[in-house]
Chains A and B, each alone.
Chain A
């Protein structure tokens, strides 16, 4: 018998509100700084004072176009502003300026990395954020610093079939936005607000199931858990033959539970109508083309390229989730490191050192240039691999240059063959029994002897050269 889960089809669409990375707000020139002292980043426009009029922020429009193009959307040469009405103390005009039937962009798609699934993007439109309510036991206060901050709302088609895919979609979307510099997209700071809507139906059923919407998802973990919970709930209700009512839930991070926020009996009537204070947003195709030309290499293309150049899937995964690491990595390549070298010394060795030191990349004291110096010393044989490890540790500790530390710590490789021979002689003399075994054909013993030599040399020689010296000496004595 197929499992309960496999008898149902999960259908998820996601709306994401992205805070655009602009210096000023969407319709006024107030600085975007939501952490400033409450109500210090406000003006007549974002406070909705009588007589004030909105002025469109061109940079926000540009960022919206960038995101839309990166998502393969068609950017509309004419889009329009609309007013969406509802009463709330954090909405000073009694309406939000947004885009409704004429959005900035429509019809794109996003490939989920490693999943062979593409999620269609229905639309991307621009709008302004609301203020923030601050509740205390006695009263509720309003901070309007966030009011009017530019947002892009990105709406997917219901092409997502699991919590895992939802997670992948959001991570990839976030990565694209960060690569473009469109948004910092920090979830916990509210730059990237995800609202999935989930419905479940028996496989083969044509009719869509009833939707559950989830808000207040402040981390990817919350998204996964929240969506999973909503799916489980809906399947359980269907199994029990319960009627499902369209509901909006808040994710309770602590209790890891969905709390119903409002049950939609009738659709809210926002009385959208064209914003009379702003003319339609008219774009030139040449403007759009220019922005398209200036787009950086997008994550999917970059991944393809690095894979071709020999980077493992696992490393690609790491880089794709951590833009700062990716940045460092690509810088290494640009300055002459090979993909293999960059992978070994950044993603393996340096990452290990940082983990040990409980540091993040931002605290890491080795700049890209010095990491490249280390790699070059290693490549030219001036440094051995074990010594290089020690050197990197020292660099991370002291924040000094590779060459300076190598000299100061005397870590340079011993390449003088006379000196190597002297050490090999000493080890052979000190270990007659293993040498005898080697002579008897147990050639594996050479590893032990090499190890002894390296210890003597404090790691400062090429192990291959040592092996060479040892075997030559032993052979000579035969």
Chain B
């Protein structure tokens, strides 16, 4: 037996609209793929195939006038398990949320539901989305369907793996410093991180609030654009959302003449693997696009700046998991003791490391040296990006400095793991839209991600361009 190839959203929508396919049949294919791969890959924390099938059948029996089928009707989608779905557990792959069932839908879920999408299951992730390999999950690591010895990337590794092995047509992940883009890159998929504020965070369990964005992991840019256009837009429940609706997109796939693509000198200077650099740049050169070198020394500190801010916010956002109201409680005699025991047992090692460092970074006497310095750095970095975008339309870089590595290779060296975010942290800090698409050429037989970044809120332009690049 082998993997049953699933259609893309665009294909499936067309086939469902014309009656050439049935949603229930796609769920049946997914069932087969799950039976075949899930045990080894561990992409899902919870699967809802029966409910999915039921919904698919009711979708199939609904007759829409031709062309009027809702955007995502009958499309099976996997959701990262840090996004709340009403009535379903939301584990964040952590023991501390044991038994917690979300009493409400995230805005993205409401919007997907309103367009007819079908929830296949909730996908595995690094605990609270903190990691780059999906090895820190309390539900065990996820393996890369392309090579089960290797990690799928992270933290949205479950979402990427599910799409990769045909466990869903598309998935939602969340990206704080690369968590959608890097697993997409490691899995040969498209991962899109919208501009900060484009997609409501209501119902997304916070890791670092000022950085978290929900984004799609799909097989094509077109699919990413489709999902984006459904989930994006202002939401009164998230005061940080951008007040304008997403722009219309023109996905013709044509490369616009005179488009200016830049590369950040400092990024490529530091790149160890020449082959990745080549895999990323060659398609552009072959398409006759000159790459304009821009210097942005600020990016050298992006890992430090990113982790300082992210950890500080982690220490605050994860204070609520105290064993009092929901989730795991380890009862001890005193209140303090109950707090300590619940948190000690509920959180994994990486979470504890980040809470400790973040708490330190916000402490009196240190906040100026750490948190506040990082805030100033962030402002300077955003300015530097702005300057770069006065010279070029898009910035090009690899998504990750390596291809998918082996399980266990980096998990015991947190610094090494953090350095994997070198290309995905700075544009996240600057709140920019960025996308990873598979490079045509592989390295060591494994996919390489091409990352494109645009200026803030130019999400539509970025998707249009990425769609064109995808076709080179």
Contact = CB atoms under 8 A, between A and B. Distances in A.
A47 interface: yes
Given A85-B362, A278-B240, 14 more contacts: A51-B82, A51-B84, A52-B202, A53-B238, A85-B319, A87-B319, A89-B324, A93-B320, A94-B322, A269-B364, A271-B359, A271-B362, A271-B363, A273-B371
For the complex, would chain A's binding face be called helix, strand, loop or mixed by DSSP majority?
A: loop
B70 interface: no
Contacts of A48: 320, 325
A44 B104 CA distance: 8
A89 B335 contact: yes
A269 B364 CA distance: 6
B11 interface: no
A50 interface: yes
23 contacts: A49-B102, A51-B102, A51-B206, A52-B104, A53-B201, A53-B237, A54-B239, A55-B236, A92-B320, A92-B325, A93-B319, A94-B319, A94-B320, A95-B316, A142-B324, A271-B362, A271-B363, A271-B367, A273-B312, A273-B367, A276-B313, A277-B240, A278-B239
Contacts of A92: 320, 324-325
B101 to A, nearest CB: 11
Please classify how large the interface on chain B is, using the bins under 10, 10 to 19, 20 to 34, 35 or more: 35 or more
B76 interface: no
Contacts of B210: 276
A278 B325 CA distance: 24
B90 A51 contact: yes
Contacts of B203: 51-52
A267 interface: yes
Given A44-B104, A89-B324, A276 B239 contact: no
Interface in B178-228: 201-206, 208-210
A268 to B, nearest CB: 9
Interface centre among B106, B237, B239, B240 (most CB of A within 10 A): B239
A279 interface: yes
Interface centre among B84, B100, B320, B359 (most CB of A within 10 A): B320
A277 B239 contact: yes
Interface in A69-122: 83, 85, 87, 89, 92-95
Closest 8 CB pairs of A and B: A94-B319, A276-B209, A276-B210, A271-B362, A50-B205, A51-B203, A51-B84, A48-B320
Given A51-B202, A53-B237, A271-B316, A87 B322 contact: yes
Interface centre among B103, B208, B322 (most CB of A within 10 A): B322
A94 B327 CA distance: 15
B326 interface: yes
Interface in B239-282: 239-240
Interface in B75-104: 82-84, 90, 92, 97, 100, 102-104
A87 B339 contact: yes
B336 to A, nearest CB: 8
A179 interface: no
A269 B322 CA distance: 19
Given A271-B359, A273-B371, A277-B240, A49 B326 contact: yes
Interface centre among A54, A95, A142, A271 (most CB of B within 10 A): A271
Interface in B105-119: 106
Nearest to B315: A271
Nearest to A271: B362
A54 B202 CA distance: 9
A89 B92 CA distance: 22
Contacts of A279: 239-240
A247 interface: no
Contacts of B319: 85, 87, 93-95
A146 to B, nearest CB: 15
B84 A85 contact: no
Interface string A270-310: 01010011110000000000000000000000000000000
Contact of B364 (A47, A87, A267): A267
Given A95-B316, A269-B363, A50 B90 contact: yes
B378 to A, nearest CB: 12
A265 to B, nearest CB: 14
A56 interface: yes
Contact of B316 (A56, A142, A273): A273
B42 to A, nearest CB: 22
A49 B204 CA distance: 11
A51 B204 contact: yes
Interface in A120-142: 142
Contacts of B239: 53-56, 277-279
Interface in A322-349: none
A44 to B, nearest CB: 6
B457 to A, nearest CB: 15
Nearest to B239: A278
A94 B339 CA distance: 11
Contacts of A47: 325
A273 B315 CA distance: 11
Interface in B300-341: 312-313, 315-316, 318-320, 322, 324-326, 335, 339
A329 B90 CA distance: 60
Contacts of B313: 276
A191 to B, nearest CB: 26
A130 to B, nearest CB: 13
A93 B326 CA distance: 12
Contacts of B237: 53, 55
Nearest to B371: A273
Given A269-B364, A271-B316, A273-B367, A51 B106 contact: yes
